Structure 1
Amino acid sequence: MTMLRRIRLVLISLAVVVGLQPVVAVHAATPPGGGAPSGSIAVARARVATEVLLDSYDEQKAWFPSSWWNSAVALQTMGDYMLRTGDRSYVDELDHSFETNKGPFPAGERSTDEIYGNFTSRAIDDAGWWALNWVTAYDLTGDQKYLDMAGTIADFMHGFWDPSTCGGGIWWNEERTYKNAVTNGQWIRLTAELHNRIPGDTAWLERAQEAWDWYAASGMVNSEGLVNDGLTDDCANNRDTVWSYNQGLGIGAALELHRATGDAELLSTARDLADAALASDALVTDGVLTESCDPLGRTCDDNQKQFKGIFLRYFTELADTTTDPRYDEFVDRQAESIWANDRDSAERLGLRWAGASTEASPNVFDWRTQASALSALIADVPQDAPSRSLSATMAPTQLVVMPSPGTTSSVRTAVEVAATSDGRPVRADVRVSGPDGWTVDPARSRVRLAPSGDGSPARASVPLDVTVPADARDGSYPLTVTVTARPGLGYTTRVTVQVASTIDFDAGSTEELAWLWDAGGSGLSHVGSRFADGTSHFVYKFPFPAEATSAEATLTIDNQYVVEVGPDGESWTTVLAEDEPIRDGSNKADHTLDLTPYLGPDKAVYLRVTDAFPEDGWGGGVYHVSAQFGTL
C-alpha cells in the first residue's frame, strides 16, 4: 500500500503559497447567524478537528508519536468520526496502522515495553485499547481481519483473568500486581462487543457476564456511584483518583452488555454511572467535564490528556440509546465550550475544555488533547448526520511574513473549497476580507463542486493575492473567510497572518506554529521539547526579508540530534550533530548556527531536526529557538 502525505480534505481550506512560502493559521468562528450549530456545522467542526489530528499521524510508523496505547485511542476516535458522519476519508490510515503494527517490536520501538505481536505486551490495558479500536474498524469496514484481531487480543487478555485473587478480574499487567477499573472495564466491553458481532457465540457472552458480576461486586464503584482507580492488595476500593475514562468505561461496559442480553437493569446501571458523573465535582465543573489534573496550577501527563474523550465516547452511546435531553444538553455544552474556549489559532483543541490558561500554567495543545476533544465534537453530530456540509480550515497551519521596513508585502495564497452533499452539485460563495488597509484580490468568488455522494468531499481552488501594508506592526492579523451555499450552509474562518520582525519562541507554544513548516511526525515531550525520533523529523522555516544579507539561529537542544539547514526545504547540509547515544538530556545546551550560506533566492532558510540514532527511539529535542538577520 502506498501512503502519500495527505493534504487536508476539509470542506474549505486555505493553502498559502507565497514568495516567502509562509505557513498559515486558521481560526474558525461561529457560523453566520450565530446560535447553536446545525447538524451540518457540527459535521464541519468534527471534520476540521479530525484533519488537524491527522496532521500528527506518522505515516512511516503508522501511529501518533510516540505513544502506543494513546495511538490506539486516537485511531479509534477517527473511526468514531467516520461511523458518525459517513465520511470514509481515513479508512486507509486505519488499515495502514493495522498492517504496519501487527508484528512484534523490541522495547523502545513502539513502547518502553516489548510488543509481542498482535498488539499485545506486558501492559494488558494497552492491548485492550487496541482490541477496542479494531472492533470499531470492523464496524466501519466489515473486514473480518479486524474482528479476528480483536478476538486474538481478547484471548491474550483472558489469560490474565484470575479468580484466585479477589475472586476474579483481569490483572493490569503481566507481573500481576494490580487489579483496576480500566482493564476490567475494557474486558467487559470487549467481550460483550465480540459476542454481539459473532453469530452463535456463547463463550464471550459468558465471560462478559462473569466479568460484569465481579466488577459490580468488586467495590471499585464507590457509594457515590463513581469509579475509583482500582483495588488494594486486600481487595478493597483503594479510594484512588476518580478518572473520567474509568467512569466512561463503566458506562460503555454496562451498555454493551445490555445490548447483548436485553437486561434493563444494566441500562439502568449505565444511567446511574452517567448521572453520578454529571453530579460530581470530581468530574464536572460549571457543566464542563474536568479531569482532576486539569485546573490551573496542575499538570496532566500524556495518558491523562486523553481520558475525557474516552468518557465522551461511551457517554455519547448512552445519550443516543436513551435520548435523554439531559445527556444531549451535556454533550452540546462540551462541544460548544471546546469550540468557543479551547481552540488556538491553528484549530488545535486543548486540554482544558473550559479554556483556562496562564503564563505559569498554560493550556496544552497536542495530538492527544486533539483526539480527546474531538470525541466531544463527534458526540455533537446528530445520529442521522446531514449529507450536506461546508467548512473552512487551513493547510498549512500558519502564515508568517517578515516584511522589509517601509515596504508593502504581497502575499499569494490559494483558497481551496470543498463540500460534501448527497450527490447534488454545491455552488459556494467565498468571501475574504482583511484588516483595514489590507487588500485581498479577489475579495469574492464563486465555485461549483460536484461531490460523489459517498461522504467524501469535492474540492475546487481559488487563487488570492493579499497585500500587507508598509505600516503593519508586528502582531497577528485576521483574514476572515466566509463560505456559504444553499440551502442554508455557511461557515466562517479567521485566518491569522503573523507579521514579525524577530523570531523567538519556545517549542510547543502557540508562537512556534508560525515557524513550524513541517511537523514531520515529531512529538512534544513532557519536559517541554519538540522531538524527532526514529524516522520522524521537523522543519522550521525562517522567511527573512529581502534586504537580509546574513542570518543566524540559536537552538536549545539535547539528546541524539542532527540539525540540517537548506535554502529550499529540499536540499540539506548537516551543521550540527550529536555523535553519542545520549538519552538523559545531559547534553542540553544552546548552539548558535550561521545561516548566511543558506539564504535562498527568496531569503528563506529551512532548518530540519532528525534523529542521530534512529534505531533506539531517543531523537533530538529542541526547547527554544531564536533567529535574527543582518543587512549590509
Structure 2
Amino acid sequence: MFLSCHFQLLVLSLSYIPNSSAQSLDDSTTDPTKRAESALSTLQSWYNGDTGIWDTAGWWNAANIMTMVGNLAKADSDNEGLQSLVTRVFANTMTQAPSKNPQPGVEEFAYRRQVLNPSNEASALYDGSHMGSGYTKILVSATNEPLSIYPQNWTQSKRKHANNGEFINTSAPRRRTTQTTLASTPDPKPWLDGFYDDDLWWALAWINAYDITSNTEYLYLAQGIFIAVTSVWPSHCNNGGIYWSWKKTYVNAVSNELFMSVAAHLANRANSRDQKEIYVQWAERTLTWFQNSGMINAHGTINDGLTDACENNHQTTWSYNQGIILGALVELHRATPDPSYLSLAAKIAKAALQELTDQNGVIHDVCEPNCGGDGTQFKGVFMRNLQTLQAAAPDDDYVAVIQANADSIWMNDWDEGQEGAFSVDWAGPFVWWANASTHGSAMDALVAAMAVG
C-alpha cells in the first residue's frame, strides 16, 4: 500500500511544462503587482477549460487556487482585464469542475445508510456501499503528511487546454453567457466527495467568487455545501466537531477549522439577522469545542488532530492548520464583534511564526523538499490567512514575514526551464519539479505582498 501511494503521488506531482503563453519571470522586478500578475500567466497555462480546474493540481488544491486567483482580483480591482478573466474562470469552473469530482455521491449515500443502519456506522457506510472510487486520504508515515490518493486515470483529461486561450489572456472578451449559464439554485451535491475538508475548501472558494462578482448563485452553492456538512456534527469526541471523512475514523484540525471558517464567512454574508445568528452560533460552537479539544498545544500551535481516545495526537503542526483558523477568527470577530477572537488569532499567528520560519523569516513545512500533492499547498493557505489577520489587526511582524516570503520566492524559487514556475521550497534553491499546486501556493504569498505593500 505504501509503495502504491508513492507511485500515485509521483504521478500527481509530475509537472507539465507550461506552454509558450507563459512568461519567463524577471527577477529584477520589485513591484508586487507586476510579480503576481506575471506569475498568473504561468499558472493559467495549466488551467484546463474542459475540466474547469488546473492540470497537475488535486481536487481540493483547485479550490485553493481559485481562491488565490480571486484574491489577486481583489487586490487589483481596477484591472478590468483581470476582473474579466477571473469572472470567466469562475463561471467555467462552476459548470465544468463537477465532472472532475473524484468521488461524487458518496456523502448522499452515507446519509441514507446512516438512517437505515445507524448501529453500524462506519463499516456499513464504507464496506457495504460499493461507492468507493479509489479516492482516499492517508497520513504518510515519515511525516504524517496528509496525502490524497486519486482514482486511476483521474489526472487525465479529454482534451488538455482545449479552451486555454480564453483563460490565459486578460484582454479576451467576456462571454455574454458568463453569468446566464448558471442555474438559479446550484446543487451542492456534485461538489461533495466524502471528505469534508474538500467540501469546505470549495465553499470558501465560492464565497470568494461571490465577493468579487456579487453573483448570488455562488453564495447559494457555498451555503448548500455548508448545510450538507452540518449533517456530520457531532463527532464521537466530546459531543462536537466533525470528522475528516464519511468513514468517520479521524477527527482532525483542518476539517473543523474550515467548518468554523465557512460558518463565520457565511454569517457576514447572510441576508437576514436570523440567518446570520445561525451561522454565528455554528462558528462559536465549533470554536468552543475546538479550544476544548486539546488540538491547540502548550506552544500555542495546532497539531494535526485527535487520537481515537479524543486526545491531541501530537502530530505535525502543518502551516495550513495554523493559517485557516486565523481567517476564521477574523471573520467571526467581524460578525460579532468580540475582541477576544483577534487576540486568540494573534497568539496562534505569533506562535506559528516562531515555530515555522527560518532565520530569514521564510515559512517551511517539515515535508520539504519532498512534499506530496497536498503538502505543497499548505504554506499558501497560511500566508493568505496571515494577510487577512494583518488587515484586521495590523502588526509589523506579519508584514515582514509576508514580504520576506514573497521576495524569497521571486528571487530563489523559480527556474527558467519551467517558464518561471515556482516550486515547494520558498527559500530555494528550486526543487526540480513544479506544478499548479506549488505555483499557486507560492502565488498566495505574492498576492499577500500586494495587499500589504
Give the equivalent residue in structure 2 for 1:120. 192
1:82 has 2:155 as partner: no
1:266 has 2:341 as partner: yes
- Counterpart contact for 2:59–2:102, Cα < 8 Å: no
Distance 1:46 1:144 in 2: 28
Distance 2:428 2:384 in 1: 21
- Counterpart contact for 2:23–2:38, Cα < 8 Å: no
Give the equivalent residue in structure 2 for 1:287. 361
Which of residues 379, 404, 415 in structure 1 aligns to 2:448?
379
Distance 1:135 1:68 in 2: 17
Distance 2:391 2:202 in 1: 24
Q: How far does residue 265 in structure 1 lie from its aligned partner after superposition?
A: 0.8
Distance 1:46 1:154 in 2: 31
2:403 aligned partner, one-letter code: D
**Identity percentage of aligned residues:** 32
Give the equivalent residue in structure 1 for 2:27. 29
**Quick one: structure 1 residues 253 and 284, their matched pair in 2 at CA, closer, same or farther if it must change by over 3 Å?**
farther
Q: How far does residue 283 in structure 1 lie from its aligned partner after superposition?
A: 4.9
Question: Which deviates more, 52-61 or 322-331?
Answer: 322-331
**Quick one: structure 1 residues 163 and 292, their matched pair in 2 at CA, closer, same or farther if it must change by over 3 Å?**
closer
Q: Which has the higher contact order (CA 8 A, sep 6+)?
A: 2
1:277 has 2:268 as partner: no
- SS across alignment from 1:184: helix
**Quick one: structure 1 residues 25 and 57, their matched pair in 2 at CA, closer, same or farther if it must change by over 3 Å?**
closer
1:58 has 2:48 as partner: yes
Give the equivalent residue in structure 2 for 1:152. 224
1:132 has 2:204 as partner: yes
Q: Number of residue pairs matched?
A: 348
Distance 1:164 1:323 in 2: 38
Distance 1:232 1:207 in 2: 24
The aligned runs of 1:92-107 (5 Å cut-off) are 92-102=88-98, 107=103
Which of residues 60, 66, 69 in structure 1 aligns to 2:60?
69
1:160 aligned partner, one-letter code: V
1:193 has 2:191 as partner: no
Could you list the per-position Cα deviations for residues 527-551 of structure 1 after superposition, in whole angstroms to 9, with x for gaps in the alignment?
A: xxxxxxxxxxxxxxxxxxxxxxxxx
Which of residues 326, 329, 352 in structure 2 aligns to 1:254?
329
- Counterpart contact for 1:351–1:363, Cα < 8 Å: no
- SS across alignment from 2:387: helix
Distance 2:265 2:22 in 1: 43
2:421 aligned partner, one-letter code: R
Could you list the per-position Cα deviations for residues 547-597 of structure 1 after superposition, in whole angstroms to 9, with x for gaps in the alignment?
A: xxxxxxxxxxxxxxxxxxxxxxxxxxxxxxxxxxxxxxxxxxxxxxxxxxx
- SS across alignment from 1:292: coil
Give the equivalent residue in structure 2 for 1:355. 428
Distance 1:102 1:268 in 2: 39
Q: How far does residue 288 in structure 1 lie from its aligned partner after superposition?
A: 0.4
Distance 1:148 1:235 in 2: 34
Which of residues 47, 51, 54 in structure 1 aligns to 2:37?
47
- Counterpart contact for 1:118–1:152, Cα < 8 Å: no
- SS across alignment from 2:257: helix
Q: Calculate the TM-score normalised by the size of structure 2.
A: 0.72
Q: How far does residue 236 in structure 1 lie from its aligned partner after superposition?
A: 0.4
- Counterpart contact for 1:105–1:117, Cα < 8 Å: no
- SS across alignment from 1:28: coil
Give the equivalent residue in structure 1 for 2:433. 364
- Counterpart contact for 2:59–2:100, Cα < 8 Å: no
- SS across alignment from 2:421: coil
Give the equivalent residue in structure 1 for 2:128. none
Distance 2:325 2:250 in 1: 18
- SS across alignment from 1:288: coil
The aligned runs of 1:6-21 (5 Å cut-off) are none
**Quick one: structure 1 residues 106 and 244, their matched pair in 2 at CA, closer, same or farther if it must change by over 3 Å?**
closer
- Counterpart contact for 2:257–2:324, Cα < 8 Å: yes
Gaps of 5+ in 2: 1-18, 104-132, 136-149, 155-186
- Counterpart contact for 1:103–1:119, Cα < 8 Å: no
Could you list the per-position Cα deviations for residues 4-50 of structure 1 after superposition, in whole angstroms to 9, with x for gaps in the alignment?
A: xxxxxxxxxxxxxxxxx99997241314xxxxx3xxx2111110111
- Counterpart contact for 2:360–2:404, Cα < 8 Å: no
Normalized per residue, the structure richer in strand is: 1
- SS across alignment from 2:90: helix
Give the equivalent residue in structure 1 for 2:110. none
Distance 1:83 1:260 in 2: 21
Q: How far does residue 286 in structure 1 lie from its aligned partner after superposition?
A: 3.3
1:222 has 2:297 as partner: yes
RMSD, matched Cα: 2.5
Could you list the per-position Cα deviations for residues 229-262 of structure 1 after superposition, in whole angstroms to 9, with x for gaps in the alignment?
A: 0000111000011100010012122111111111
- SS across alignment from 2:450: coil
Give the equivalent residue in structure 2 for 1:180. 252
1:330 has 2:395 as partner: no
2:42 aligned partner, one-letter code: V
Give the equivalent residue in structure 1 for 2:87. 91
- Counterpart contact for 1:180–1:231, Cα < 8 Å: yes
Normalized per residue, the structure richer in helix is: 2
Gaps of 5+ in 1: 1-20, 32-36, 386-632
Give the ranges of 4+ consecutive aligned residues of structure 1 lying more than 6 Å apart after TM superposition.
Answer: 21-25, 113-116
- Counterpart contact for 1:118–1:149, Cα < 8 Å: no
1:216 aligned partner, one-letter code: Q
- Counterpart contact for 1:161–1:169, Cα < 8 Å: yes
2:51 aligned partner, one-letter code: K
- Counterpart contact for 1:169–1:184, Cα < 8 Å: yes
**Quick one: structure 1 residues 25 and 153, their matched pair in 2 at CA, closer, same or farther if it must change by over 3 Å?**
closer
Distance 1:300 1:112 in 2: 20
**Quick one: structure 1 residues 261 and 25, their matched pair in 2 at CA, closer, same or farther if it must change by over 3 Å?**
closer
Could you list the per-position Cα deviations for residues 45-94 of structure 1 after superposition, in whole angstroms to 9, with x for gaps in the alignment?
A: 11011121111011111111352111111111111111111131321011
Q: Calculate the TM-score normalised by the size of structure 1.
A: 0.52
- SS across alignment from 2:24: strand
**Quick one: structure 1 residues 23 and 274, their matched pair in 2 at CA, closer, same or farther if it must change by over 3 Å?**
closer
Could you list the per-position Cα deviations for residues 470-500 of structure 1 after superposition, in whole angstroms to 9, with x for gaps in the alignment?
A: xxxxxxxxxxxxxxxxxxxxxxxxxxxxxxx
Could you list the per-position Cα deviations for residues 114-169 of structure 1 after superposition, in whole angstroms to 9, with x for gaps in the alignment?
A: 99834101111110110010000001101000010000000111011115433210
**Quick one: structure 1 residues 352 and 106, their matched pair in 2 at CA, closer, same or farther if it must change by over 3 Å?**
closer
- Counterpart contact for 1:102–1:117, Cα < 8 Å: no
**Quick one: structure 1 residues 147 and 284, their matched pair in 2 at CA, closer, same or farther if it must change by over 3 Å?**
farther
1:349 aligned partner, one-letter code: F
1:100 aligned partner, one-letter code: Q
**Quick one: structure 1 residues 300 and 104, their matched pair in 2 at CA, closer, same or farther if it must change by over 3 Å?**
closer
- SS across alignment from 1:339: helix
Which of residues 232, 238, 248 in structure 1 aligns to 2:313?
238
